[in-house]
Chains A and B, each alone.
Chain A
Amino acid sequence: MSIEFTPTEMMTIAAARALTNDDVCFVGIGAPSAACNVARLTHAPDITLIYESGTIGTKPDVLPLSIGDGELCDTALCTVSVPEMFRYWLQGGRITTGFLGGAQIDRFANLNTTVVGDYDKPKVRLPGGGGAPEIAGNCGQIYITMALNKRGFVDHLDFITSMGHGEGGDHRAGLGMKTKGPTRVITDLCIFEPDAATKELTVVSIHSGVSRATIEENCGWPVRFAETVAETPVPTTAEISVLRDINARTKKAHEAA
């Protein structure tokens, strides 16, 4: 039986599948938060979700609009102060996986959420880094999820808010970073992983019904494809229903207050 799904639903579910029961995951707001909670409600019920507001082991019934909604604290194992969160838990090396989104990304998975244009005279002033610079540096590895389009996937970033693989190769290690950095970028059309040597993002899996040409048209740099490219399994009925249920509960909750 085939089910209908949108590219965004495919992206969230593909992102959710990247997570496991053993992960201790630092969750970014928006698309990452949806993916992490779908994982928790499907194949990874024992995953530990941590939000930078200080909530550890949280199990929200509806997706938070902000990083510190009361729902996160109400359903958490415990809640710590923000300095403790960043010092002991993140910098302390307790987080296996950080899950980030971004406004712009380049081919080495560096992210920009700060400015478009010159920093001092920006064309567009974006919100800024928040927790991302240290999440990117201190989590064991990083997953990134964002829709693939030319506005977001750019040839050159005006500003590096959080470092991915820098200029590629062993740039990260050369700066003394011991963590892996971005290991997967999940989009609405395909999944990228960094090439083992160059660290350039390479398409390793294409979502059902998407052509290589569509991926190339929507990316701001010439796309590289891995030698063997998989087809991303379509969402199961269980995955889709969990995602739609949590989205429906969330919409209702956010409109009510």
Chain B
Amino acid sequence: MARICTLSEAIEENVRDGDSIAMEGFTHLIPYAAGHEIIRQDRKELFLIRMTPDLIYDQLIGVGAARGMKFSWGGNPGVGSLHRFRDAVENQWPRPLEIEEHSHAAMANAYEAGAANLPFAMLRGYIGADLAKVNPNIKSITCPFTGEVLAAVPSIRPDVSIIHAQRADRKGNVLIEGISGVQKEAVLAAKRSIATVEEIVDELDPPSPNAVVLPTWAVSSVVHVPGGAFPSYAHGYYARSNAFYIAWDKIARDRDSFTAWIKEHVRGGKPEDFARHVGKRSAKAA
């Protein structure tokens, strides 16, 4: 059974120095509030896993919380570079970052393999691509039936996965709606997991019997953090702040302005601050 608790308790109990950690959400439902709490609790030596590092890992990299990162697309979507990620790779600031780079298809397959308790994933991928030359974790396997050579990558088994979702009920069952990305796989692949949610309700009332629901016994901790995905979005609750993503380019480009932003908005902030971003409910919300 998931424990329903505060964000501070959930991070204290589930995230340890040195952990491999997956904070997923494919553009949608990115667990920003949880990322900020990890920075406030000064976790160190994390190995970050995420298909699209996005601003959440730009922030963790920029404060020096990460020793490494496994990823498949490290940009600010539609805007340009993740400047803290680039500074770490190009100039080792604030510390060197070990990178393990894949394609989206390989990462998605690797999460699925992790959830399925398999040691590796295979795919028809990386053909003619140079990533296979620079990443020793991209290997190949021959199909025992047809002889076809396929790409193989290790499954992803994080120490802890963190997601954001729309709703949980009072038992801690979690409902995800909209673009569901790899969150279900990330949670099921991990040893421990946290779901932050927009609302805790009496009944989940999923819109369909086939809705994406994580049963309470598959999640370690559930935390009520309204607005916790800002500046990404929560389908049915608030829209993506494309304006913030554009503004981040300037904030993160410079080390000092980044550090000042972290000091003011993260170290000087608290989980409840995210609630002010909930307001503009999308047309689909009822």
Q: Which residues of A are interface residues toward B (Cβ below 8 A)?
A: 29-30, 52-55, 64-70, 72-74, 79, 81-83, 85-87, 90-91, 110, 114, 119-120, 122-134, 137-138, 159-163, 166, 171-172, 175-177, 253-257
Contact = CB atoms under 8 A, between A and B. Distances in A.
Is the contact region of chain B dominated by helix, strand, or loop, or is it mixed? Answer: loop
B179 A79 contact: yes
B180 A54 contact: yes
Interface of B: 26-28, 51-52, 71-75, 77-79, 81-82, 85-86, 89-90, 101, 103-105, 108-109, 111-112, 123-131, 134, 148-149, 178-182, 184-185, 212, 233, 235, 239-246, 280, 282-284
Contacts, number: 196
A132 B101 CA distance: 13
Contacts of B212: 81
A172 B127 CA distance: 9
A174 B134 CA distance: 22
Contact of A54 (B71, B111, B181): B181
Nearest to A254: B242
A157 B185 CA distance: 35
Contacts of B282: 70, 74
Contacts of B182: 81-83
Given A67-B27, A83-B109, A124-B90, A129 B131 contact: yes
Nearest to A93: B124
Contacts of B235: 70, 73
B125 A54 contact: no
A130 B72 contact: yes
A129 B73 contact: yes
Nearest to A250: B242
A86 B178 contact: no
A254 B235 CA distance: 17
14 contacts: A53-B27, A65-B240, A66-B240, A66-B245, A70-B179, A81-B212, A86-B109, A114-B101, A114-B131, A129-B72, A129-B101, A131-B103, A131-B104, A166-B128
A29 B129 CA distance: 20
A129 B284 contact: no
Nearest to A87: B109
B239 A163 contact: no
Contact of A86 (B71, B104, B179, B284): B104
Nearest to A163: B128
A100 to B, nearest CB: 13
B66 to A, nearest CB: 15
B127 A128 contact: no
Given A114-B130, A159-B130, A127 B74 contact: yes
B181 A81 contact: yes
B56 to A, nearest CB: 13
B104 A55 contact: no
A65 B181 contact: no
Contacts of B28: 53, 68, 70, 73
A133 B243 contact: no
B103 A74 contact: no
A160 B178 contact: no
Contacts of A254: 242-243, 246
B135 to A, nearest CB: 10
Contacts of B82: 127
A210 to B, nearest CB: 28
B101 A128 contact: yes
Contacts of A30: 78
Contacts of A256: 243
Contacts of A119: 130, 134
A86 B27 contact: no
B103 A134 contact: yes
B125 A127 contact: no
A68 B179 contact: yes
A82 B181 contact: yes
Contacts of B89: 122, 125
B158 to A, nearest CB: 16
A133 B134 CA distance: 15
B254 to A, nearest CB: 17
Nearest to A74: B284
B108 A87 contact: yes
A82 B104 contact: yes
B240 A163 contact: no
Given A67-B27, A86-B104, A86-B105, A175 B123 contact: no
B76 to A, nearest CB: 8
Nearest to A33: B78
A23 to B, nearest CB: 21
A69 B240 contact: yes
Given A119-B134, A131-B105, A66 B77 contact: yes
A90 B109 CA distance: 13
B85, B89, B148, B184 — most chain A CB neighbours (10 Å): B89
B69 to A, nearest CB: 11
